[in-house]
Amino acid sequence: MTGKPPDGGRRGRRPGRPTMAAIARLAGVSTPTVSRVLNGRSGVASETRRQVEALLREHGYRRPNSVAPAASVEVVFFGLEGHLTISIMRGVESVVRRQDLVVGFTDVLSRASTERPWAQQLLQRRPVGMIAAHSSFAPQEHALLTASGIPMVALDPAGMPPDTVPSVGAANWSGGVAAARHLLELGHRRIAVIAGPLKSLVARARLEACRAAMDAAGVPLDDRLVRSGEFFFERGLALGADLLRTTDRPTAIICGNDLQALGVYEAARRAGIAIPDELSVIGFDDLEFTSWCGPPMTTVRQPFDAMGAAAARLVLALAASEPLDHTRVELPTTLVVRASTAPPPDR
């Protein structure tokens, strides 16, 4: 198969679905105008485009597959994140290449300043399917992509995806529990947590998992030792420095991701605090550089390659109109113990 959707055919319109002509009549425009909106093409006034998109959402329009999609699967990132992005793309590519398809990608944040919205550009390319990584796109964008007949899967979504969108993620809860238990077993009691932004379900799951594990051990998490911020090095540095300035500073810090943990490394270096002799640090993700930093970082591994592959299998199944056994795939996380954790200094 080359350059064809996985089903090799076309799906017809379900009975009772509105037609493109019906949407055009409701909007008071021509059918070609509705077609231009669905294909992300220019030549439609902004107000008209918004009106047509609203009607498509309101009436649940679904485009029949009368137009052959391009021979690609698009991975849409809401911010590229180095090694993490590469691992996801590698996993997607390992699956789609067996269907003689290629992988394309879009970075929504880098296109934010362009005149044409990223969703319109994606519609014009018409990929076989779309994988939204770390998605936080607006309901109107989701509705437009759905109306245009492009199957989509959410990978590690920042929020709860719509019920109609299958998703792939990692076992964030069990990863958080494993991190907290590891420190408790080492003898730590003053454990701090730097969580990701709490609007993110992923960040909240990791934080609450740490809290639950500590509660179960009879060592409740001290809310004065909880911080939250974006998954960036700079936030880990600032929040880590804040925690290390406290009078009874923590002996261990669990971070929302590896970049935050690297920020804590730098905060400890500036404060003259040795890792792990005076402070244990745990990250989350197991990006490649965590085994190179000094000391090598204890972290929770997410299987990004496998997550990308699982998302690709789901989106190709949707494109082929195959029934899905599961609409949520959750892959296991693994605690990787290295040299950044040790018993607390008073042990």
For residue 115, name the pLDDT band (cuts at 50, 70, 90): low
For residue 65, name the pLDDT band (cuts at 50, 70, 90): low
DSSP 15: T
Amino acid at 170: A
Give the HSE-up count for residue 77: Cα atoms under 13 Å, Cβ half-sphere: 17
Residue with more model confidence, 7 or 27: 27
Q: Which helix (H) or strand (E) holds 281?
A: strand 280-285
Amino acid at 100: D
Helix axes 258-271, 233-244, angle to 10 degrees: 40
- What value does the mean pLDDT of the chain take? 87
Residue with more model confidence, 37 or 225: 225
For residue 8, name the pLDDT band (cuts at 50, 70, 90): very low
Residues of the chain with CATH 3.40.50.2300: 69-170+306-331, 172-302
Residue 107 has pLDDT above 90, yes or no: no
Residue 110 has pLDDT above 60, yes or no: yes
pLDDT at 31: 75
Q: CA 302, CA 294: separation in Å to the nearest integer?
A: 21
The domain over range 172-302 is classified in CATH as 3.30.450.20: no
Mean pLDDT of 258-265: 98
Tell me the pairing of strands 334-336 and 328-331.
unpaired
Mean pLDDT lowest among 11-25, 45-59, 197-211, 263-277: 11-25
The candidate with the shortest Cα–Cα distance to 147, out of 260, 246, 59, is 59
Are 302 and 260 in contact by the 8 Å Cβ rule? The answer is: no
Are 89 and 307 in contact by the 8 Å Cβ rule? The answer is: no
Mean pLDDT of 242-254: 96
| Residue range 307-334, pLDDT digits in tens | 999 999 999 999 988 999 889 999 999 9
Task: Answer whether the bond into residue 295 is a cis peptide, omega within 30°.
Answer: yes
DSSP β-bridge partners for residue 228: 195
Q: CA 107, CA 222: separation in Å to the nearest integer?
A: 38
CA R_g for the chain: 23
CATH architecture observed for domain 69-170+306-331 = 3-Layer(aba) Sandwich (3.40)
pLDDT at 9: 41
pLDDT at 11: 41
Are 77 and 135 in contact by the 8 Å Cβ rule? The answer is: no
